[in-house]
């Protein structure tokens, strides 16, 4: 195990599991260097199906350099329709070539197929009875090119280490690789990873601290004017003056400052909570979700430090089983089907894990979390004590509430490496991050992965 990059350690990723030095280099030098294709798991009817029963037109779009939201708006504009009629299964990065599914309600399939947008290829697949929704995909396939690698030949040693971590033979070319199923840096903010700090303050009942974690808390990776504005807000609590300092594009910081300025003097917890509630509901949810993700990352790092396996359980672990409806070749955890492992069941469940039928999990803590037993439970309790929260703290108002769930601790994938240029190809289940695989190869500043 090697210590992770300092920026990664701030979000709970304490280690690399591969001992080899990294290849260096960076990603996304060109749009074509990062290709993502959704692994589809959404049934549809033929285009000729009854529009009354199947009012949504399903389409596959291959996009070059498009933000998902921007494409949805451009598509609806091209068809003279409301943006609210467009839905999709997963948001993708703008700096990539992406192939993904969209649906559009009450659209003419021929008109959709005829849409002509720059750097976008649209294919109509059929009709569906409901819109495609976030999460309506099994996973994603990636093809990623690393540019300016210092030592591309090191990729083989990294791959061997990751095969061993997955429980296979390092020299077996057919063995999958495995990495801890960390939440990637982008979960917390690529340039300024603070969303988990906001969430932890909320969970501790420190609403003022939550606002200051978001509005203040300057990062060296930000422009000087932005750093100055954050420092001014944190030091003076002059919210009206801070509005003059913050650049216009930082609209969420400005909305919080505006709310606090309107509320005048003698601000209390309710005022700071109201300021946080000025941001979109999905961002309010993200704050608490990021805190859960940080705790999860810390639990995985502690499991690594204790030398516990990831590819098989120990007594006290909670495992989940594979989703029977997952596409062929993709092992997809079903966290709604779980079982606690006792001493008598360790060997049997280990065989299920080896065959891809079960997965060791750790908690994404919430009000309904039942912590593991044995040593895994000790790890979770130690982390929660260290960060100063407990499951009951997630019993919060509105969008800040969370019941919690579980998540697999290991993500396995078949991976191929090609040289000149160095290119990595692999697939991951939904919810897993390509960067947690790529970081093992580059061992670079997270900026090089974004």
DSSP 226-269: HHHHHHHHHHH--HHHHHHHS-TT-HHHHHHHHHHHHH-SS--H
Q: Is 32 helix (H, G, I), strand (E, B) or coil?
A: helix
H/E segment holding residue 352: helix 346-354
69, 92 contact by CB (below 8 A) = no
H/E segment holding residue 139: strand 137-146
Q: Is 193 left (phi over 0), alpha (psi -120 to 50) or beta?
A: beta
Which of 151, 104, 156 is closest to 130 using CA atoms?
104
Strand duo 34-40 + 97-105: pairing: parallel
Strand duo 120-128 + 137-146: pairing: unpaired
Distances (CA, A) of 94 to 99, 102, 366: 12, 16, 32
Distance (Å, rounded) from C-alpha 127 to C-alpha 57? 5
331, 412 contact by CB (below 8 A) = yes
Alpha helices in 179-223 (DSSP H): 195-203, 207-215
146, 423 contact by CB (below 8 A) = yes
Contacts of 34 (CB under 8 A, 6+ apart): 27, 28, 93, 95, 96, 97, 142, 144, 145
Q: How would you label 385-413 residue by residue, b for 16+ Cβ within 10 Å and e otherwise?
A: eebebebebbebeebbebeebbbbbbbbb
Q: Which are the catalytic amino acids?
A: 93
57, 104 contact by CB (below 8 A) = yes
Which of 369, 366, 350 is closest to 358 using CA atoms?
350
- DSSP letter, residue 357: S
Distance (Å, rounded) from C-alpha 435 to C-alpha 450? 8
């Amino acid at each position: 195990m090697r210590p992770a990059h300092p920026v990664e350690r701030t979000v709970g990723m304490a280690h690399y599991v591969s001992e080899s030095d990294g290849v260096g280099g960076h990603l996304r030098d060109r749009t074509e260097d990062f290709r993502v294709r959704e692994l589809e798991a959404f049934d549809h009817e033929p285009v000729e199906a009854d529009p009354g029963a199947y009012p949504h037109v399903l389409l596959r779009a291959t996009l070059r350099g498009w933000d998902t939201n921007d494409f949805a708006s451009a598509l609806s504009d091209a068809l003279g329709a409301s943006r609210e009629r467009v839905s999709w299964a997963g948001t993708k990065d703008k700096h990539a070539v992406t192939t993904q599914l969209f649906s559009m309600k009450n659209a003419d399939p021929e008109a959709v197929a005829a849409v002509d947008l720059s750097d976008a290829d649209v294919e109509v697949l059929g009709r569906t009875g409901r819109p495609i929704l976030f999460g309506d995909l099994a996973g994603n396939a990636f093809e990623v090119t690393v540019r300016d690698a210092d030592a591309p030949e090191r990729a083989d040693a990294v791959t061997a280490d990751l095969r061993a971590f997955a429980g296979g033979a390092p020299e077996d070319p057919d063995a999958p690789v495995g990495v801890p199923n960390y939440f990637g840096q982008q979960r917390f903010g690529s340039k300024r990873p603070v969303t988990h700090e906001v969430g932890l303050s909320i969970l501790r009942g420190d609403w003022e601290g939550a606002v200051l974690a978001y509005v203040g808390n300057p990062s060296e990776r930000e422009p000087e004017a932005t750093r100055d504005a954050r420092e001014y807000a944190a030091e003076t609590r002059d919210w009206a003056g801070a509005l003059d300092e913050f650049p216009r594009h930082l609209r969420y910081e400005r909305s919080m400052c505006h709310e606090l300025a309107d509320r005048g003097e003698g601000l209390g917890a309710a005022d700071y909570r109201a300021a946080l509630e000025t941001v979109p509901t999905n961002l309010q949810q993200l704050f608490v979700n990021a805190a859960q993700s940080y705790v999860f990352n810390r639990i995985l790092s502690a499991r690594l430090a204790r030398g516990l396996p990831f590819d098989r359980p120990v007594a006290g672990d909670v495992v989940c089983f594979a989703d029977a409806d997952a596409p062929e070749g993709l092992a997809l955890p079903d966290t709604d089907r779980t079982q606690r492992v006792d001493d008598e069941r360790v060997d049997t469940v280990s065989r299920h894990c080896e065959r891809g039928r079960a997965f060791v999990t750790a908690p994404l803590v919430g009000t309904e979390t039942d912590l593991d037993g044995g040593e895994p439970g000790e790890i979770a309790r130690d982390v929660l004590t260290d960060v100063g929260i407990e499951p009951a703290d997630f019993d919060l108002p509105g969008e800040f509430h969370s019941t919690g769930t579980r998540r697999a601790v290991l993500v396995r994938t078949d991976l191929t490496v090609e040289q000149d240029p160095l290119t990595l190809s692999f697939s991951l289940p939904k919810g897993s991050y390509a960067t947690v695989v790529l970081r093992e190869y580059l061992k670079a500043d997270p900026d090089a992965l974004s």
